[in-house]
Chains A and B, each alone.
Chain A
C-alpha cells in the first residue's frame, strides 16, 4: 500500500494501493469488480491474513497450552502473541485481553459473569432488584438484548440515553443515579456513524460506581483507541470487522475486575486444579477461555493488526474521513435522498445511512447488486434506533482501507439507476 497526498489541502488518502492487497476485491463478477461498501458488517481480508491462516494449518497446526512438542509450542507462542498484539493495539496489558467468538459473545460473557458473581454473593458486583442498567438507544442488538435479558432474570430496570435530531447522543446526567450499576454504550454507532463521548460517559458512571461496557466493534478497526485513556471498565470488538478471520472476538477488562469476576464458560484450560467438589480457576486470560480456543483465528489477528499498523490507525481514520466527506457531498445531491446522522465527517465514523424517496432499502440494495455494488439494507440489528428514527429500515454504506473515491462514484451512479427505475414506473 502507499499513502498519497492527493492535494496539499487534503489529508492522506490510502489510494488504490490498499485494494490490490485484497484478493476478493480484485476478482471480477460478471466482468465487473465488486464495489464493497459493507465493511461495518465484515471486512475483506488481505493476502497476509489469508496466508497466516494457511501457514498455521500447513506448518504448525496443534492444540495450544498442551503438547510438549515443537509444533504445539509454536502454536502456543503464536496464540499468546495474538493477545499481546491486541493488547498493544488498544494499549492495555496482555492478561486483560480475552479471546471469544465475537463481540456478541464478549458481551454475553459479561452479562452471565455478572449474574454468576451475584449468585455466589461475592464482592465483585451487587445487583439488587430495582437497580438500573443504562443503555443508549443506538445500541446494536448485541449490546442490548444481553442486558435486557439479564435485567429480566434478576429484576433490574433498563434506562436509555436518547439521541437528538443529528443522531448525537444526549448524555443526560440525570440518568446516572446511585442505582445505575452497569452502563453499556457503543463507541461508534453501526447505523449513524455517530462517535460517542465515551470519556464523559465513563466519568459520570464512575461517579456513581457503575461499570462501563463499551462496544467498540465499529471503532477499534477504524481509529486509534486507547482503553486506558478512555478508562472504561470493559471493551468488546470482533476480529472479522478488522481484517481478521470470523470466529475471533475480544473482551478487554481491567485486570482487577477480571480477577474478581466469576467465569462464564467452564471446561478445559480455564482451570488450575479440579477435585470432585471444587475447582480453582486458571490465571487470566485463560480463566475466561474455556476449551480449545480459535487458534487459527487468533493468529489471523496478528496479521490483521500488522497490516493496520503498517498503514497507521491515524491514516486509516483520515482515509475514512476523506471518503465520508466525499460521499456526503455526492450523496446529498441525489434526488429524494434522506441522510441520517451528522453531516460533519469529522464527527462520525465511515458509516452512512440513508433512504431514497420511499423506495424500500431492499429494493435499492437489489438494484445495486446488479451493478456489483454491495451495501447493507435493513434495520442493522438496531430496531430500537429504527423506531427512534421513525423508519423501518435504511440503506447503509460503510468504508474501510480498501475503498476509493471511485467506489463512491460507482455508488452514486447506481443510485441514479435506482431512481430512474422507480421514477419511470411512477409516471405510469
Chain B
C-alpha cells in the first residue's frame, strides 16, 4: 500500500489550506483532462510582491492530486516566486516522501505544482 501512505491519506481527508481567497494576487484553475482532477489555487503575496504570504486551493479529484496539492501548499508559504518556478518534478516527489507512482499517476501528483507554476508565469507576464 506504499502509494497510499498514511500522510497522503491524512492530507486527502484533511486538506491543509483548502479554500478561496477574496483578494488574491494570483488565481488560476487547471485540470487534468484524462482523470478529471481539478484545482484552483489563489496566492496572496507579501508587500515585496515576490514572496508567498498565503496560498489556498479548492479542487476535486483523486487522492493523489488533492493530497499532493495539500502537501505542496504547506511548503510554499514564505517562498519566493522564482524559487517556486525553479522547483523540479523530483523536488515534489521528495516532498511526497518519494512514494512509488505509476506513469499514469505521476500526472495527478504533479497537477498542483504545475498549476502553481502556471499561475506564476501568468502573473509575471501580465505584470
Measuring CB to CB, which residues of chain A are less than 8 angstroms from any residue of chain B?
359-363, 366-367, 369-370, 378-379, 392-393, 421-422, 424-426, 428
Among the listed B6, B12, B13, B105, which residue makes an inter-chain contact with A362, where contact means beta carbons less than 8 Å apart? B105
Q: Which residues from chain A contact B26 at a C-beta distance below 8 Å?
A: none
How many of chain B's residues have a CB under 8 angstroms from any CB in A? 22
Minimum CB–CB distance from B61 to chain A (whole Å) comes to 6
Q: Which of A360, A370, A428 meets B62, CB within 8 Å? A: A360
> Chain B residues near A428 (CB, 8 Å)?
9-10, 13-14
Q: How far is the CB of B34 from chain A (nearest CB, A)?
A: 7
Closest 4 CB pairs of A and B: A425-B9, A360-B62, A392-B36, A362-B62
Q: Please give, as numbers and ranges, the residues of chain A lying within 8 Å of B102 by CB-CB distance.
A: 366, 369
A359→B60 CA distance, assembly (Å): 11
10 A-B Cβ contacts within 8 A?
A: A361-B62, A362-B35, A362-B62, A362-B104, A363-B63, A392-B36, A392-B60, A393-B36, A421-B4, A425-B9
CB neighbours of A425 from chain B (8 A): 6, 9-10, 12-13
- Which residue in chain A gives the minimum CB-CB distance to B61? A360
Q: Tell me which of A360, A393, A424 contacts B63 (CB under 8 A).
A: A360
Interface residues of B (CB under 8 A from A): 1, 3-4, 6, 9-10, 12-14, 34-37, 60-64, 102, 104-105, 108
What's the dominant secondary structure at chain A's contact region? helix
The minimal Cβ–Cβ distance linking B11 to chain A, given in whole angstroms, is: 10
Which of B4, B6, B64 has the largest count of A CB atoms less than 10 A from its CB?
B4
Please determine whether B10 and A367 come into contact, CB atoms closer than 8 angstroms: no
Chain A residues with CB below 8 A from B3, complex form: 366, 370
Q: A362-B104, A362-B105 are in contact. List 7 more A-B contacts (CB 8 A).
A: A360-B62, A360-B63, A363-B63, A367-B1, A370-B1, A378-B34, A378-B35
In the bound complex, how far is the Cα of B35 from the Cα of A327, in angstroms?
26
Q: Specify the chain B residue showing the minimal Cβ separation from A393.
A: B36
The CA of A422 and the CA of B64, in the complex, are separated in Å by: 13
Contacts of A363 in B (CB 8 A): 4, 62-64
Question: Which residues of chain B are within 8 angstroms of A393 by Cβ–Cβ distance?
Answer: 35-36
In angstroms, Cα B9 to Cα A425, docked, is: 6
Residue of B nearest to A369 (CB): B102
CA A39 to CA B53, docked complex, whole Å: 50
A370 to B64, CA, bound (A): 16
Q: Which of B9, B34, B60 has the most CB of A within 10 A?
A: B9
Among A361, A366, A370, A426, which residue has its beta carbon within 8 angstroms of that of B105?
A: A366
Q: Which residues of the other chain, B, contact A361 by a CB distance below 8 angstroms? A: 62
Docked pose: A362 CA to B108 CA in angstroms: 10
- Minimum CB–CB distance for B30 against chain A, Å: 15
A378 to B37, CA, bound (A): 11
Complex CA gap A425/B6 in Å reads 8
A363 to B4, CA, bound (A): 9
Check B9–A421 contact: CB distance below 8 A: yes
Shortest B110–chain A CB gap in Å is 14
Residues of B with C-beta under 8 A to A367: 1, 4
Which residues of A sit under 8 angstroms from B36, Cβ to Cβ?
378-379, 392-393
Check if B108 sits within 8 Å of A426, measured CB to CB: no
* C-alpha gap A370/B4 in the complex (Å): 11
Q: Are A421 and B62 in contact (CB under 8 A)?
A: no
Q: Which residue of B lies closest to A383 (CB)?
A: B36
Question: What are the residues of chain B within 8 A of A370 when measuring CB–CB?
Answer: 1, 3
Nearest chain A CB to B29's CB is how many angstroms away? 15
A426 and B13 form a contact (CB under 8 A): yes
Contact of A421 among B1, B61, B104, B108 (CB under 8 A): B1
When distances are taken between beta carbons in the complex, the residues of chain B under 8 Å from A359 are: 63
Residues of A within 8 A of B10 (CB): 425, 428
Q: For B3, give the chain A residue with the smallest CB separation.
A: A366
Closest-CB distance, A256 to chain B (whole angstroms): 42
Write the chain B residue with the least CB distance to A360. B62
Closest residue on chain A to residue B4 by CB atoms: A421
B97 to chain A, nearest CB (A): 16
Which residues of B have CB within 8 Å of A369?
Answer: 102
Chain A residues near B12 (CB-CB < 8 A): 425
Question: How close is A249's CB to chain B, nearest CB, in angstroms?
Answer: 24
Q: Please name the residue on chain B nearest to A362 by beta carbon.
A: B62
Residues of chain A lying within 8 A (CB to CB) of residue B13:
425-426, 428
Which residues of A are found within 8 Å of B9, using beta-carbon distances?
421-422, 424-425, 428
Give the residue among B9, B62, B105 with the most A Cβ atoms within 10 A: B62
The smallest beta-carbon distance between A128 and chain B, in angstroms, is: 35
Report B1 CB to chain A, min CB distance, Å.
Answer: 6
